[in-house]
Structure 1
Amino acid sequence: MAEEDPLAPNKVPPLGLPVLVAEAFDGAHVTGLRHAVASYAEESGLAGQRLDDFVLAVNELITNAVRHGGGRGWLRLWREDSTVRCEVSDTGEGIATDQLGNRTRPAPDTAGGRGLWLARQLSDDLVVLTGARGTTVRISTAVAPANQERADWPMPYGDLS
């Protein structure tokens, strides 16, 4: 009997929470998947800069999965109460502890190394599970109340400078 891949997406969405997107992907599917995430996140209530930030964060995660996580991955997107959540999993060799714990902005002259940092900056919450059998990153962003102006909506992430 083959061992089940622990990083493959759960076959059952969280109880009562319909999954908006649940897809396996590789490098050829990044653009189409990004567009699907943008559409579903917008339908779920994200708008304006929060929508743009969330989609960019997801794009960084799926690009990392392709580049550093074995060339393929799995994505799940769902809305839970007033929050849009996305989970990206891969089968790479994991993220080194020193990289995972480093929350400083990468130097401008450094090639690469911005994906996870950027995803952390552009989402309200980021959780990483990583090891020798792969990595799963879950991000979430709250949907701003419809009657609340963007200027009144607090920016949950730190200074991007």
Structure 2
Amino acid sequence: MEPELRCPISTDLDAIRRLVRDHAGRGGLSGERLDNFVLAVNEAVTNVLDHGGGTGTVLARTDSGGVTVEIADEAGRLSAAHLAAAEHGRAHSAGFGFGLWLIQHLCDRVELDQSPLGSRLRLHMSVRTAADRPPGTLVPQGCDPAEAALPPADPGLQGPAGFPGTLG
């Protein structure tokens, strides 16, 4: 059985980021891909705290191909329509949904399951060799770089507290 990490969602985002970073690092992610994955998980957990029910679980698993983190939200408010709007930039242009847009552009794969027990957002990042990683890019494998380009920097947009660096 592969290693697994399970922790409750809490407002201690720094602790969650550290746990995910350690787990994903042991799973083979490193450098910019590791940073991007931790940022994506942070955004997903923040969405549960800000827009979901505020309670849920972070579950991380590794296998030979990469790392998968499931963010379970007991309120189940996140829908496929939210993901679709964010993926195509419609939500961001309306002033919300940037976190979902960012998640989808940082991760190799993003999936959503809904049930009467809530919603589960599954983020996956494949382990790649250095030769597979384009230098200085945030574009996941298989994405069109023109579609995945980050919006212009906003000097007022700061990264999450405790996360190395800022957005913008």
TM-score bracket, normalised by the shorter chain, equals 0.7 to 0.9
Name the structure, 1 or 2, with higher relative contact order (CA <8 Å, separation 6+).
1
Q: Provide the TM-score with structure 1 as the length reference.
A: 0.76
CA contact (8 A) 1:34 1:55 kept: yes
Higher Cα radius of gyration: 1
Could you give the per-residue CA deviations for residues 28-75 of structure 1, whole angstroms, max 9, x where no partner exists? x22211111112211221111111110111001111111122112101
**Aligned with residue 50 of structure 1, among 18, 21, 33:** 33
Task: Evaluate the alpha carbon distance shift between residue 67 and residue 17 of structure 1 in structure 2; reply closer, same or farther with a 3 A threshold.
Answer: same
Q: Does 1:121 align with 2:105?
A: yes
- Unaligned 5+ segments in structure 2 are 151-168
Corresponding residue number in structure 2 for 1:160: 149
Alignment of 1:81-120 (within 5 A): 81-102=64-85, 103-105=87-89, 106-107=91-92, 110=95, 112-120=96-104
Q: Percent identity?
A: 27
Q: Does 1:17 align with 2:2?
A: yes
- Unaligned 5+ segments in structure 1 are 1-15
CA contact (8 A) 1:72 1:91 kept: yes
Corresponding residue number in structure 2 for 1:134: 118
- Three-state SS of the structure 2 residue aligned to 1:40 is helix
How big is the alpha-carbon RMSD for the aligned residues of Structure 1 and Structure 2? 2.4
CA distance in 2, matches of 1:83, 1:97: 24
Q: Provide the TM-score with structure 2 as the length reference.
A: 0.73
Corresponding residue number in structure 2 for 1:69: 52
